[in-house]
């Protein structure tokens, strides 16, 4: 066999490898940067539901926190679109009537969302939300008296939430507009907070719907309303016969009562009598009248 001609000598060092590298130093640095700065913080923000302010002793920049929140915005599908409404009544027995927001909350923030939507929707569930809602109810009553000087003062103010599904909204044409409560489905309305009286005291409104009535009874409510039978005491098991077979139609055997012990009389103390001297026997006569 012929040998290839001798080539120039290889440069000193490690022999070249035929296996290509999967990732260079730049790729490793980029991967670590992606995991530490992007994927890890996004996973934490999305699962914990809170911002990432610090990593150890290092403060996270505000812009980077905003980027992490934006990446976790649309994690759930929106099923319905909610609105908030106000209902009032001038007397205790009067019906609830929806109060238009014109003259009360005129400044619009985001389309149909007014200041009322921001004040109620973002605060009534938080700490002190009931007190803030009560203050707003008193302000509405005072504003109503100023706008309607000839009308009687309001007796009650309550806040109602309503919602429409996205499927219903897609079927409508034109610009979105807020519908009154009379056109909303009753089962999709809910009374949030109710205040009544001159001082606008809080009144519990759990389970009520808009329109003054309570929610329609369900079959589950009727089932709960049925009187439950009282539990009967369990009967004692019947003793079995000596041969192991139980007898039917016979009352259970009961153990016989223990025989009563005879009453014992208390022992009387024995009285001791003094000993009497025994009579002495008489001595025989010593005269001549005896036998010889």
Q: Render pLDDT for 63-118 as a digit per residue (tens, 0 to 9).
A: 878 777 777 666 667 788 888 999 999 988 889 999 998 888 887 766 667 788 88
Establish if 155 belongs to a structural domain. Answer: yes
More confident residue, 39 or 146: 146
Distance CA 116, CA 122 (A): 10
Helix (H, G, I), strand (E, B) or coil at 157: strand
Establish if 90 belongs to a structural domain. Answer: yes
Whether the CB-CB separation of 120 and 105 falls below 8 Å is answered with no
Q: Supply 260's token pair.
A: 């009563």
Contacts of 203 (CB under 8 A, 6+ apart): 156, 194, 195, 196
Q: Which of 30-39, 113-122, 245-254 has the lowest mean pLDDT?
A: 245-254
Range of the structural domain that residue 131 is part of? 80-216
* Element housing 237 (H / E): none
**Count of domains forming the chain:** 2
**pLDDT confidence of residue 278:** 66
Whether 53 and 86 share a structural domain: no
Establish if 243 belongs to a structural domain. Answer: no
Whether the CB-CB separation of 120 and 199 falls below 8 Å is answered with no
Distance CA 184, CA 167 (A): 15
Q: What is the mean pLDDT of residues 150-160?
A: 92
Q: What is the mean pLDDT of residues 226-238?
A: 65
**Domain stops at, among 188, 216, 244:** 216
Which residue's structure tokens are 């730049």? 26
**pLDDT confidence of residue 162:** 92
- The pLDDT > 90 percentage for the chain reads 16
Establish if 14 belongs to a structural domain. Answer: no
Phi, psi of 164 (to 5 degrees): -125, 140
- The pLDDT > 70 percentage for the chain reads 63
**Domain stops at, among 190, 216, 242:** 216
**pLDDT confidence of residue 238:** 57
Helix (H, G, I), strand (E, B) or coil at 40: helix
Q: Which pTM value belongs to this model?
A: 0.50
Band of residue 146 on the pLDDT scale cut at 50, 70, 90: very high
Contacts of 247 (CB under 8 A, 6+ apart): 238, 241
**pLDDT confidence of residue 54:** 78
């Amino acid at each position: 066999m012929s040998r290839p001609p001798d080539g120039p000598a290889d440069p000193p060092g490690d022999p070249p490898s035929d296996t290509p590298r999967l990732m260079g130093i730049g790729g490793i640095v980029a991967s670590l940067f992606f995991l530490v700065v992007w994927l890890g913080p996004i996973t934490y923000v999305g699962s914990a539901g809170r911002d990432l302010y610090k990593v150890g002793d290092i403060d996270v920049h505000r812009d980077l926190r905003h980027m992490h929140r934006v990446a976790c915005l649309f994690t759930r599908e929106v099923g319905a679109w909610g609105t908030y409404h106000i209902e009032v009544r001038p007397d205790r027995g009067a019906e609830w009537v929806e109060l238009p927001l014109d003259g009360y909350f005129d400044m619009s923030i985001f389309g149909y969302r007014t200041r009322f939507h921001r004040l109620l929707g973002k605060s009534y569930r938080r700490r002190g939300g009931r007190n803030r809602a009560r203050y707003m109810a008193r302000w509405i009553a005072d504003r109503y008296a100023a706008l309607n000087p000839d009308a009687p003062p309001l007796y009650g103010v309550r806040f109602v939430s309503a919602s429409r599904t996205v499927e219903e909204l897609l079927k409508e044409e034109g610009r979105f507009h807020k519908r009154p409560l009379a056109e909303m489905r009753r089962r999709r309305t809910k009374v949030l907070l109710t205040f009544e009286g001159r001082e606008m005291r809080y009144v519990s409104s759990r389970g009520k719907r808009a329109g003054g009535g309570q929610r329609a009874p369900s079959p589950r409510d009727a089932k709960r309303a049925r009187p439950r039978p009282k539990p009967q005491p369990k009967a004692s098991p019947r003793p079995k016969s000596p041969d192991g077979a139980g007898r039917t139609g016979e009352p259970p055997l009961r153990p016989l009562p223990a025989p009563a012990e005879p009453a014992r009389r208390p022992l009387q103390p024995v009285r001791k009598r003094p000993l009497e001297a025994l009579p002495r026997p008489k001595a025989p006569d010593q005269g001549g009248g005896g036998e010889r």
